[in-house]
Structure 1
């Protein structure tokens, strides 16, 4: 008759469980203490399987050797691969057993089969594909939602068939917008999820001064439809995009108007500031050059940098790609990125979008009175006396925002904002009434890589405008957010967005205007879920970081492949004509 003897229990009079280690010799310190090998990679299953008919668990409990189950595998024959993971030995209580609990599940379809017309499953209903057999159908096999052959909308995987080379899309790397020199020292690194938590409420700004001339917006563009499309014209006008430190108005303000108050002042343009305020939405790389001179901070852009062009489908699941550069070690190696037509590459689309935005703004204003153009307090500050080419409609409003959190803080930011036109009959534009900003979205080829699932505008824009707008808000979230922030900073009452498409998808030189939408910037910001308070919190955080540094030059770089920004200290000669790449200088600002 089988018997079982209990192991001896060592009492510990000092308290706690188990024998007292102080009363035992060294060789018996861990004797009779239960131990089961365990690895973090093991899967925890049942600690006791009382329904196991193989009696393996009972044998293990009493110390008898386990028997190999006829089904093969590990304990109880439950493991499919026949191997045991670390920690699942004969004495382990943590072995993972895979039990096919769904084996008793069955799907019952009580739907009446459709009548046959001429042949078996000629229409198929929700079972077979229309006009074909039920194999490989796109609606889920012969049963409704069942487990037919290759079912599940095109594949046996839930979610449908993967696109070509989908596994490589996440591995495509982008190049940084600026070459990071080894001599630069990284001062700070901030992840986007930290930026998204920042908040700062800012009061209404104070208008410092205004410059330029505005033409009236042509309201006939609001009546354009896909049936009455209008060609986009090439209009030769001058439009300036001067960086902050080269602005003569800001130079004068920094040394005369605001510096005399002994305040910490930041100077920027609305284009640069909108990129910083919408940084958590950005995907493509960018960089901002920051110069500290005393209590003044200047946010600058580089000539030919990312601020001079407009992105296309930056936030799409599969954004447009540029052809990968050839491998210098193996020039004949085939690139992992599929071949993209030159007109649909990311760089070509960006240049095309920039061209469309400029010309749509030039074309959609009335230059010949009536109505009369409106002159601001001062003429265009960048138009020299020797210039003869006509100026574009543009007004510059220099506005000062207070970034102070408490009354003792005196931190202000002077922003050069831009408006493109004015709306007649909406008040005096000189007083900031009826101002309009003009932008344009462009359609290139809905079947091309990087289109982001956009519907055909010619067939959907009039009947299903909401679907078109929703797709653009998803694919161009960052671009639309920046445009909205620029309009709010400028105090514009309206923002006009034109929908412009190619006359032929294979020709990127001819375009047509299909429609124009009008919206109020503050309301549109709510639809886009754009938080101005979050944007001001980001600006204040970057300002505080730079004010803690000594005088010198810095650059804020968005990582090309990660949601993170980094602040670097760079030589004073970086990004100048002497050293455009910022390399080759051993001198660094004192830290």
Structure 2
């Protein structure tokens, strides 16, 4: 009878609710002071005691914080009401800090380090390649040992190097712990400059504008015929040739100083004028890492995309997009010839001489309808190099009511006869400085792998020099070039940056090469149109588009009209004082 009596007494003690089921809105016995946590019917019950989670020295779980405090056992549970669960948590006593669980289970002996049936032994030296000896199933990879399951063995050797990784280090290891590189800007931003826009690369990558293939307006210069003897088997010892230094004259003035562009602007042939080097830099901006700048001049309803004298745009970068690009001397690089500036000068020198050496000057020449517009026979004594300047027009209009056209000066390097038809070429050169040096980006040894693993070599260069190859491909497409010849030039010895040898030449169709490296020209045209629209909304004057040296950001500044003119005037004055 006792249970029935207790139940009836409890029922009689409950208050009546006239409004329906549940307790009334106000009762004498309030529940406001009772702690309450929201819950969900789908919540899973936890454990009264968890012996699998590590504890800190003070006995509290997750004392180290960060990822150590996160228990993977509960990652699939719902977290509804988890923030208030601490109201009911039990606080450990201080004497429990010394408590620990003793594991008396016997652990099995460690298996021998080996792979496959043979159970071979792994020999690891300092910075040496991982090597396996044993029976069938043993395998070796450049980044370390790889088991049959496909997972890399990332153990360290006794000297601190990673076993199996060339150079004792795997790229990507502890990249979060590397010091932040602070590169200098390509141009000094002065206090009187006014920043107008700040554009993140993520915004640029989403732009898109479809345009036509362009039309030819005029062609100037002369071209030599390409020497097919250069395309011997790449990587073969007999195919190596010394890169000779030859004196030839080339011109590369900016758009506003080009007499042909000035004449076309006066005839109102287009709205935007640029050179292929400046335009390709702007179209491939999201791939760039090193700093650069473009001078934008608006005169009336005309926009000129210019470059400064000695601008970084005229120089060829090396391993700009590598995971661990070359270091400067101030950053700890002990080899002065392998700094970014020295490698850029070396690559620019190689490209100029390689384009000269790959043509056959005794096989005649291809003369364009117009002569070279920059050459003056009375003042220039050196012979002209093989170069043609093709001026082409592209339609950037969004609607027929508001037309917008762009004229770009493109360059061609040689011509070749194919089935009796002359085809135009652009010639570029990739350079290898030292595959074991810092900043090589894990590149393969070209002398050993160029003949047998050409695809792997090209893929590595696409990764380490994404911006440079994208610019070259864009320039070839802008010039409507039929083929793009890429040479592989290496140092004669890794420690000498003055002597080089040509290991081979490979030809690509520009649009096929663009598809291989996932280059979208419509995105580049969208970037150009966006920057032009920004400048068209501004008043007439001079502007500078600056790539941030340490962040993927573009900044547009309004600058005084005489900016950069004073520097050009000071340079001749200093030369005159030095002569005196």
TM-score, normalised by the number of residues in structure 2:
0.76
Structure 1 residue 489: Cα displacement: 0.4
Q: Does residue 261 of structure 2 align to residue 250 of structure 1?
A: yes
Change in CA separation of 1:186 and 1:418 when aligned onto 2, cut-off 3 Å: same
Change in CA separation of 1:572 and 1:94 when aligned onto 2, cut-off 3 Å: farther
Q: Name which of 369, 375, 391 aligns with 2:367.
A: 375
**Partner deviation per Cα, 1:248-277 (whole Å, 9 max, x = no partner):** 00111111252xxxx6x0000011000111
Match of 2:329 in 1: 323
Structure 1 residue 31: Cα displacement: 3.6
Q: Does residue 61 of structure 2 align to residue 79 of structure 1?
A: yes
**Partner deviation per Cα, 1:36-74 (whole Å, 9 max, x = no partner):** 69xxxxxx9x966464269xxxxxxxxxxxxxx9x9969
Secondary structure (helix, strand or coil) at the match of 2:255 reads coil
Whole-Å separation in 1 of the counterparts to 2:382 and 2:190? 40
Match of 1:547 in 2: 536
Change in CA separation of 1:189 and 1:11 when aligned onto 2, cut-off 3 Å: farther
Structure 2 counterparts to residues 227-306 of structure 1, below 5 A: 227-228=237-238, 229-258=240-269, 265-306=271-312
**Partner deviation per Cα, 1:483-541 (whole Å, 9 max, x = no partner):** 00000000110111100000000100000000000111111111111111111111111
Contact persistence 1:270–1:417 (CA under 8 A): yes
Secondary structure (helix, strand or coil) at the match of 1:367 reads strand
Match of 1:411 in 2: 404
Whole-Å separation in 2 of the counterparts to 1:446 and 1:148? 22
Q: Name which of 542, 547, 558 aligns with 1:569.
A: 558
Q: Name which of 183, 206, 214 aligns with 2:192.
A: 183
Q: Does residue 503 of structure 2 align to residue 514 of structure 1?
A: yes
Whole-Å separation in 1 of the counterparts to 2:386 and 2:435? 33
Q: Which moved more, 1:527-536 or 1:419-428?
A: 419-428
Q: Which moved more, 1:227-236 or 1:86-95?
A: 86-95
Secondary structure (helix, strand or coil) at the match of 2:264 reads helix
Whole-Å separation in 2 of the counterparts to 1:82 and 1:477? 41
Change in CA separation of 1:434 and 1:567 when aligned onto 2, cut-off 3 Å: same
Contact persistence 1:36–1:93 (CA under 8 A): no
Higher helix share: 2
What residue ranges of structure 2 are gaps of 5+ in the alignment? 71-82, 93-100, 125-129, 135-143, 571-580
Match of 1:487 in 2: 476
Match of 1:198 in 2: 207
Match of 2:219 in 1: 210
**Partner deviation per Cα, 1:335-356 (whole Å, 9 max, x = no partner):** xx22330111111000000000
Structure 2 counterparts to residues 491-510 of structure 1, below 5 A: 491-510=480-499
Secondary structure (helix, strand or coil) at the match of 1:353 reads helix
Q: Does residue 464 of structure 2 align to residue 468 of structure 1?
A: no
Q: Does residue 353 of structure 2 align to residue 359 of structure 1?
A: yes
Change in CA separation of 1:338 and 1:49 when aligned onto 2, cut-off 3 Å: same
Change in CA separation of 1:194 and 1:441 when aligned onto 2, cut-off 3 Å: same
Whole-Å separation in 1 of the counterparts to 2:259 and 2:360? 29
Contact persistence 2:114–2:120 (CA under 8 A): no
**Partner deviation per Cα, 1:413-464 (whole Å, 9 max, x = no partner):** 0100000010124566xxxx50000000000001101000001000111111
**Partner deviation per Cα, 1:195-252 (whole Å, 9 max, x = no partner):** 1111111113121111101110111101254312000000100111111100000111
Residue correspondences, number: 509
**Partner deviation per Cα, 1:359-381 (whole Å, 9 max, x = no partner):** 0001111112x3x2111111111
What residue ranges of structure 1 are gaps of 5+ in the alignment? 38-43, 55-68, 133-137, 325-336, 582-591
Whole-Å separation in 1 of the counterparts to 2:113 and 2:185? 60
Match of 2:140 in 1: none
Whole-Å separation in 2 of the counterparts to 1:125 and 1:474? 31
Change in CA separation of 1:124 and 1:294 when aligned onto 2, cut-off 3 Å: closer
Contact persistence 1:503–1:512 (CA under 8 A): yes
Change in CA separation of 1:291 and 1:19 when aligned onto 2, cut-off 3 Å: farther
Contact persistence 1:176–1:560 (CA under 8 A): yes
Secondary structure (helix, strand or coil) at the match of 2:417 reads coil
Computed over aligned residues only, the root mean square deviation of the Cα atoms, in angstroms, reads 4.7
Contact persistence 2:255–2:304 (CA under 8 A): yes
Whole-Å separation in 2 of the counterparts to 1:357 and 1:180? 31
Match of 2:48 in 1: 52
Secondary structure (helix, strand or coil) at the match of 2:524 reads helix
Whole-Å separation in 2 of the counterparts to 1:279 and 1:12? 73
Structure 1 residue 407: Cα displacement: 1.4
